[in-house]
């Protein structure tokens, strides 16, 4: 089954396509349209969905072949990782046409407007409101930790459409256009020193009814899909930011694809890939050290079993199984990230005291590593999911069981009051 | 390219058949009986297995009376055997010895011995390891003197699987030409076989002492190191599947208990400390299973271009640690009862460490792996 694995044929096909099509003189917009229409933006989607019916991990391979070829890589970002597959699953034909195609062609950039100051792991505790006004919705509230919101055209917005239902019951999922009055995006500085995530405030912002995805008050079910795509995508090494940024706000669509291709080498961005570590071990003369060798071999085992897990999940899905493997992939990815930076910092030694120069990539990656077990649902929450949904262990006792959202908010306030 | 991770319908049915056999014959009661028995198995069950399923000849070529199946079917059988902790000379005879004979490429020896192994009438094993505990065939020192196919062996072999019950012993020795493989009858004069009390009581081991024992050369004199390495890798891949089956059983036991055992008014499985342990056990189990399956498909497909040594080292290293961790956590989740002789948890814990040590432990495997990933 040549389509069930990332095979040498894939490399050939991609290279052949690039030989025929890559043209540095095209605008980024035109290039990405070509790429999207050929199915390379999401090779793991089915052909009807705009992909090529390949396994999940073909995506990363395709991107690296584009890079090797010197071509501008396919558009990336959270729209591709989460919004597109969610809308494909829950949206109407009209919604798919209006949103998925632009994502695949890099014409829109998306962010995820889920978390709020009062709703993190307990996402269903969100209080941003959407109130109906004819064929529009009026949005009021606040989101936080919204990665890339300052460069996004659309947001996957979760808002409460009925506070008198139990908290999971009164939520809806919107495709929300960020560029409008009533939306304030305020960048936050991360512990890395950089700005990636934001606070987003809604003060009477508008969303058209036709952009409510998956039905009113059905947002929790839709969100389960989004979160599934997020954790399995991250587990498969997806979630790449995409350079340059897709969409008008990224500002690159009018540039020459050839110029944009040279912009930002992937490997200088918070990622320690395995070959970097091998090269580093040799460069620092530590490749003979048995402890270093043991750690690197262990890391390689994690990486390789992760890739095999993904392939096995795909094969088993064809026989109606494989759920367990998808759920462990995000925790598995966390341990890969953390071990990678541990080894890298160990290898660079005292140079780790310095945050610029030749080894800065490793210091950056070290600083970014704690994020991997937080974003996309913390490791603790992922373990709860594995234990409860896969292994069938008893569910967590919930203090707000049976209460409507409004009641549970009041209860929370009175508990806080009693403590103060 | 191999159809990796795609089991055929026949293979799925085959698994069910093997499982049914083991469910009936490898109950905890019978495992404990075999454990207390010197031979470590029940000859009647061994005979039934040959008669009903022909498993002893699973990977023996058809020309030599076997079924001629490959690494994937073998992995299926061993995964199930691991799950039920089946006590028998299967690993020694039907896997290790058969692999050693087939890889040696000696048609005469194969046609002399394989049919009886395949039918289950005779039990075979491989004696490789010596006092310093290395599974590397190039480190063999047992002396082999002679020529023209007739040799005399002197020295000692350790940790020989089912060594005291084997009718046929394949022995790695060193002759003037280098490391060679020999065939010795279990009752040969000068061969002294002593069972050793094993950490894993469900898998019997023996020390064999050779005092000028007559032996027949198998394969080319001096040419055994490479073929033995291949045989060991193939056996190790099968063993990894056995580890996965046993790991699954440990997680099953733990989860079942966590749902049933109440403390502080709720099942202990409602506590996150327990829940998260179980989730980590699941991660280890499923990753180990992916590795073991991948390795068996890769071994089945010589054309895949996979580096079998690299994959073997990775898989054995991973599966060993996964099994050990899950077996230990299973005891922890059971609390006091998990530490009793009566509970099966320790049988799996013993099996976990013993399979880690067999054919080279996890650290050794990672050492091998490191040499193949650019270090
Ligand atoms: C780099 C980065 C990027 C992000 N990008 C986005 C984004 O683009 N869009 C978006 O919507 N969100 C984003 N997030 C937010 C992220 O999803 C949340 O931070 C995360 O879900 C945790 O929520 P919290 O921060 O409120 O922590 P809390 O939920 O307050 O958790 C605090 C601690 O308590 C633990 N905890 C909470 N509940 C339980 C429980 N039931 N059992 C055991 N432990 C528990 C957690 O594991 C954690 O250790 C991002 C976060 C980071 C770090």
Portion of chain A with pLDDT greater than 70, in percent: 94
Q: Whose structure tokens read 């409008």?
A: A180
pLDDT at residue number A3: 35
User: How close are the terminal C-alpha atoms of chain A, in Å?
Assistant: 64
pLDDT value, residue B3: 63
Q: What is the mean pLDDT of chain A?
A: 90
Structure tokens at B374: 């650019």
Cα A289–chain centre separation: 37
Mean pLDDT of the B218-228 span: 96
Gyration radius of chain A over CA positions: 22
Give kind and range of the element (H or E) at residue A204: strand A198-208
Average pLDDT over residues A60-70: 90
Residue A30, both tokens? 């035109």
Structure confidence at residue B318 (pLDDT): 98
Q: What is the 3-state secondary structure (H, E, C) of A85-105?
A: HHHHHHCCHHHHHHHHHHHHC
Answer for the pair B59, B69: CB distance below 8 angstroms, yes or no. Answer: yes
Q: Which residue has the higher pLDDT, A64 or B108?
A: B108
Give the nearest chain A residue to B251 (CA atoms): A391
Q: How far is the CA of A118 from the centre of ligand 1 (A)?
A: 11
Ligand 1 lined by A375 (C-beta under 6 Å)? yes
Q: Which of A291, A396, A273 is nearest to B266 (CA)?
A: A396
Sort out which chain A residues have CB atoms less than 8 A from B280's CB and list them.
331, 383
Percent of residues in chain B assigned helix, strand, coil, to nearest 5: 55, 15, 25
Regarding the beta carbon of A121 and ligand 1, being less than 6 Å apart is answered yes
Q: How many residues comprise chain B? A: 375
What pLDDT is attached to residue A314?
79
DSSP A307-338: HHHHHHHHHHHTTT--HHHHHHHHHHHHHHHH
User: Rounded distance, CA B91 to CA B354, Å?
Assistant: 13
Q: What's the mean pLDDT in A173-192?
A: 96
Q: Do B369 and A332 touch (CB under 8 A)?
A: no
Distance of alpha carbon B311 from alpha carbon B296, whole angstroms: 10
Structure confidence at residue B208 (pLDDT): 98
Please tell me the distance from the alpha carbon of residue B349 to that of residue B250, in angstroms, as a whole number. 9
pLDDT tens across A230-240, in order? 987 776 555 55
Q: Which residue of B has its CA nearest to A282?
A: B375
The pLDDT value given to residue A361:
87
- C-alpha dist (Å) from residue B337 to B330, B341, B345, B346, B353: 11, 9, 9, 11, 20
> Coil, helix or strand for A137?
strand
Q: Note whether B367 contacts A297, CB cutoff 8 Å.
A: yes
Q: Mean pLDDT lowest for which of A193-197, A366-370, B135-139, B224-228?
A: A193-197
- Band (pLDDT 50/70/90 cuts) for residue B4 is confident
- Contact of A74 with A32, CB cutoff 8 Å: yes
Strands, E, within chain B: which ranges? 124-127, 143-147, 150-161, 168-175, 178-185, 191-196, 205-218, 262-263, 266-267
3-state class of B16 per DSSP? helix
Query: Does the pLDDT value for residue B266 go beyond 50?
Result: yes
Residue B339, token pair as written in the block? 């530490």
Strands B266-267 and A110-113: unpaired
Of A284, A241, A283, nearest in space to A266 by CA: A241
Q: Across the interface, which of A293, A308, A384 has its CB nearest the CB of B291?
A: A308
Position A242 scores a pLDDT of: 56
Instruction: Give the C-alpha separation, B235 to B155, whole Å.
Output: 25
pTM: 0.91
Look-up: residue for tokens 């008050």?
Answer: A217
CA B271 to chain centre: 37
pLDDT at A267 over 70: no
Q: Of A135, A162, A140, whose CA–CA distance to A218 is shortest?
A: A162
What confidence tier does A396 reach under pLDDT thresholds 50, 70, 90? confident
Placement of tokens 């699953």 in the chain: A89
Give the span between the Cα atoms of A9 and A4, in whole angstroms.
Answer: 12
Interchain CB distance below 8 Å, B279 and A382: yes
| Alpha-carbon distances, residue A110 vs A133, A182, A223, B271 (angstroms) | 25, 18, 15, 38
A198-215: per-residue pLDDT in tens? Answer: 999 999 999 999 999 999
Is A109 a pocket residue for ligand 1 (Cβ < 6 Å)?
no
The β-bridge partners of B174 are: B143, B179
Nearest Cα to Cα of residue A311 among A228, A235, A391: A235
Contacts 24+ apart (CB under 8 A), A88-92: A88/A45, A88/A49, A89/A225, A90/A173, A90/A213, A90/A214, A90/A215, A90/A221, A90/A222, A90/A225, A91/A213, A91/A214
**A173 CB within 6 A, ligand 1:** no
Query: Active-site residue A230, yes or no?
Result: yes
CA–CA separation, A298 and B287 (whole Å): 13
CB-based contact A252:A28 (threshold 8 Å): yes
- Distance from C-alpha of A159 to C-alpha of A139, rounded to nearest angstrom: 8
Q: How confident is the model at residue B2 (pLDDT cuts 50, 70, 90)?
A: low
Instruction: Tell me which of A323-327, A363-367, A392-396, B111-115 is least confident.
Output: A323-327
DSSP class of A130: E
Pairwise CA distance, residues B25 & B173, whole Å: 38
Residues from chain B that touch A297, judged by Cβ atoms under 8 A, are: 314, 317, 366-367, 369-370, 373, 375
Residue of the CA atom closest to atom 24 of ligand 1: A120
Nearest to A125 by CA among A382, A403, A420, A330: A403
CA dihedral A285, A291, A296, A298 (to 10 degrees): 170
| C-beta separation of B273 from B263 below 8 A | no
Q: What are φ and ψ of residue B47, in 5° steps?
A: -70, -45
Average pLDDT, chain B: 96
Q: Looking at the predicted structure, is the pLDDT value of residue A1 above 60?
A: no
Q: How confident is the model at residue A4 (pLDDT cuts 50, 70, 90)?
A: very low
Encode pLDDT of A220-229 as tens digits. 999 999 998 8
| Catalytic one of A49, A105, A151, A230 | A230
**What digits encode the pLDDT tens for the residues A322-373?**
677 777 988 999 999 999 999 999 999 999 999 888 888 899 999 999 999 9
Residue A84 · residue A99 · CB < 8 Å: yes
Per-residue pLDDT of B158-210, as tens digits, reads: 999 999 999 999 999 999 999 999 999 999 999 999 999 999 999 999 999 99
Which chain B residues are within 8 Å of A331, Cβ to Cβ? 279-280, 283
pLDDT class of B27 with cuts at 50, 70, 90: very high
| Among the partner residues B4, B274, B369, nearest to A311 by beta-carbon distance | B4
Neighbouring C-alpha atoms within 13 Å toward the C-beta of B60: 27
């Amino acid at each position: 089954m040549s389509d069930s694995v990332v095979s040498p044929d894939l490399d050939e096909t991609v290279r052949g396509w690039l030989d025929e099509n890559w043209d540095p003189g095209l605008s980024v917009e035109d290039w990405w349209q070509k790429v999207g229409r050929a199915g390379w933006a999401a090779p793991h989607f089915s052909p009807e969905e705009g992909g090529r019916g390949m396994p999940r991990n073909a995506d990363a391979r395709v991107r690296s072949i584009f890079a090797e070829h010197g071509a501008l890589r396919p558009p990336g970002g959270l729209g591709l990782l989460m919004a597109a597959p969610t809308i494909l699953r829950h949206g109407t034909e009209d919604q798919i046409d209006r949103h998925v195609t632009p994502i695949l062609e890099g014409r829109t950039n998306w962010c995820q407007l889920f978390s709020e100051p009062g709703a993190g792991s307990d996402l269903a505790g969100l209080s941003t409101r959407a109130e109906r006004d004819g064929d529009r919705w009026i949005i009021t509230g606040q989101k936080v930790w919204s990665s890339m919101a300052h460069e996004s055209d659309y947001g996957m917005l979760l808002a409460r459409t009925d506070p008198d239902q139990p908290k999971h019951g009164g939520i809806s999922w919107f495709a929300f256009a960020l560029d409008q009055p009533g939306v304030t995006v305020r960048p936050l500085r991360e512990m890395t020193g950089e700005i990636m995530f934001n606070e987003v405030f809604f003060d009477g912002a508008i969303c058209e009814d036709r952009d409510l995805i998956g039905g009113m008050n059905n947002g929790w079910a839709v969100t389960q899909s989004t979160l599934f795509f997020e954790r399995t995508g991250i587990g498969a090494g997806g979630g790449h930011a995409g350079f340059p940024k897709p969409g008008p706000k990224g500002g690159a669509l009018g540039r020459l694809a050839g110029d944009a291709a040279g912009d930002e080498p992937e490997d200088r961005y918070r990622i320690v890939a395995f070959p970097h570590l091998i090269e580093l071990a040799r460069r620092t003369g530590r490749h003979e050290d048995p402890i270093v060798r043991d750690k690197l071999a262990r890391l390689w085992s994690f990486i390789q079993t992760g890739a095999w897990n993904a392939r096995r999940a795909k094969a088993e899905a064809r026989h109606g199984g494989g759920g367990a493997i998808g759920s462990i992939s995000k925790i598995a990815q966390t341990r890969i990230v953390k071990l990678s930076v541990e080894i890298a910092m160990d290898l660079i030694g005292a140079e780790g005291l310095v945050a610029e120069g030749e080894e800065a990539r490793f210091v950056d990656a070290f600083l970014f590593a704690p994020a991997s077990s937080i974003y996309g649902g913390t490791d603790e929450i992922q373990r709860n999911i594995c234990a409860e949904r896969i292994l069938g262990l008893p569910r967590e006792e919930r203090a707000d069981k049976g209460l409507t959202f409004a009641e549970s908010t009041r209860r929370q306030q009175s508990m806080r009051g009693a403590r103060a | 390219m191999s159809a990796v991770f795609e089991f055929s319908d026949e293979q799925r049915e085959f698994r069910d058949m093997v499982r049914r056999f083991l469910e009936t014959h490898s109950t905890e009661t019978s495992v404990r009986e075999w454990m207390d028995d010197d031979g470590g198995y029940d000859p009647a069950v061994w005979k039934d297995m040959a008669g009903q399923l022909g498993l002893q000849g699973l990977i023996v070529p058809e020309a030599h009376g076997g079924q001629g199946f490959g690494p994937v079917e073998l992995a299926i059988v061993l995964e199930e055997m691991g799950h039920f902790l089946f006590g028998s000379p299967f690993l020694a005879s039907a896997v290790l010895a058969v692999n050693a004979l087939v890889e040696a490429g000696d048609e005469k020896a194969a046609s002399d011995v394989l049919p009886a192994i395949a039918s289950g009438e005779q039990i075979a094993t491989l004696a490789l390891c010596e006092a310093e505990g290395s599974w590397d065939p190039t480190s063999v020192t047992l002396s082999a003197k002679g020529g023209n196919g007739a040799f005399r062996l002197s020295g000692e072999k350790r940790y020989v699987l089912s060594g005291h019950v084997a009718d046929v012993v394949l022995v790695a020795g060193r002759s003037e030409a280098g490391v060679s493989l020999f065939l010795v009858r279990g009752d040969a004069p000068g061969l002294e076989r002593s069972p050793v009390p094993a950490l894993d009581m469900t898998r019997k081991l023996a020390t064999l002492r050779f005092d000028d024992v007559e032996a027949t050369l198998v394969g080319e004199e001096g040419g055994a190191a490479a073929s033995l390495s291949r045989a060991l890798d193939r056996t190790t891949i099968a063993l990894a599947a056995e580890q996965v089956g046993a790991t699954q059983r440990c997680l099953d036991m733990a989860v079942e208990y966590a749902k049933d055992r109440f403390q502080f008014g709720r099942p202990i499985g409602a506590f996150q400390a327990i829940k998260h342990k179980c989730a980590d056990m699941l991660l280890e189990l499923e990753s180990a299973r992916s590795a073991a399956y991948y390795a068996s498909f890769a071994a089945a497909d010589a054309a895949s271009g996979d580096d079998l040594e690299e994959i073997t080292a990775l898989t054995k290293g991973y599966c060993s640690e996964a099994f050990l961790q899950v077996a230990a956590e299973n005891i922890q989740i059971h609390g006091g009862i998990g530490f009793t002789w009566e509970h099966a948890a320790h049988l799996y814990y013993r099996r976990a460490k013993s399979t880690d040590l067999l054919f080279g432990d996890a650290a050794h495997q990672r050492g091998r792996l490191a040499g193949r990933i650019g270090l």
